[in-house]
Amino acid sequence: MNDPEQEPVDALFSQALAAGESRPRAREVLARAPDEQVLASALRRAVPAAFLEEVASTRPWSERPRVLARVVLSPRAPQALSLRLVSGLYWRDLAEVAATARVSAAVRSRAESLLRDGLGDMRLGDRVTLARLATAALLPSLLADTERQVTESTLLNPRLREEDLVAALRREDARAVLVEATVSSSRWATNYAVRLALVLQPRTPLPLALQQISSLVPRDLRRVAEEAALRPLVRAAAQEVLAERAD
């Protein structure tokens, strides 16, 4: 049985396919598009590039960011067209573009750059949501956020790699919220490289740094004991553990 809600989408898609790469015919088909929802749904399919070009240049569709997002995400979208449109998308659509493998690398990189540049203007709730689904290129910026909620969401992001978190923890300007959220993270608190990075970070609160000492292997204990930038108590604790293991 046909789905009545899909019938206008199927009809518009069929008409777009029939128009082929003729811009005038595509323009005629677009003029019959019933509403934004139907058009956006049709654009999720592989419509011809000529139809995409017409959508991007025809009002009111050319002024609707949600519609333009479907153009950019289309498997048939020319790269030049996508690069022209991507700067006008909402952040959620930019995040989807950045994470969609079929989109060209240049367009995905541009979406990531726009998201990164816009982080300072985003609301807290939006940054929290973005942190959970952002691509790897955005994670360093999100790990540097001042709000713990953002940091905690970033730590849950499946694209976050051990080496990225360790690099963030090693930064001279690593924030206390990152250190504290990492120690509390069920995903990262038991990771050895992360524990070592916490101990070697001079900004790690003393109680948290001392908690990690006993989990380190002798080679790293010696490294901690000899690290002049660390607090004397942290270095002394590493030396004490080394001495106990030598007995």
Query: pLDDT tens digits, residue range 131-187?
Result: 999 999 999 999 999 999 999 999 999 999 999 999 999 999 999 999 999 999 999
Instruction: Tell me which DSSP letter residue 191 carries.
Output: -
Segment 29-49 mean pLDDT: 91
Give the mean pLDDT of the chain.
93
> What are all long-range contacts of 63-70, with beta carbons under 8 Å and residues at least 24 apart?
64/36, 65/89, 65/90, 65/93, 66/36, 66/40, 66/90, 66/93, 67/36, 67/39, 67/40, 67/43, 69/93, 69/96, 69/97, 70/39, 70/40, 70/43, 70/44
What is the tens place of the pLDDT at every residue in 55-70?
Answer: 999 999 999 999 999 9
Please report which confidence band the pLDDT of residue 1 belongs to, taking 50, 70 and 90 as the band edges: very low
Residue 5: predicted pLDDT: 73
The pTM for the full model equals 0.86
> Does 3 score more than 70 pLDDT?
no
pLDDT given at position 22 = 93
Say what the pLDDT of residue 247 is: 64
Q: Judge whether 170 and 187 are in contact, CB under 8 Å.
A: no
Residue 62: the pLDDT is 93
Separation CA 108–CA 147 (nearest Å): 26
Q: Is pLDDT at 97 greater than 70 in this prediction?
A: yes
d(CA 230, CA 79): 50
Percent of the chain with pLDDT over 70: 98
**Confidence class for position 6, pLDDT limits 50, 70, 90:** confident
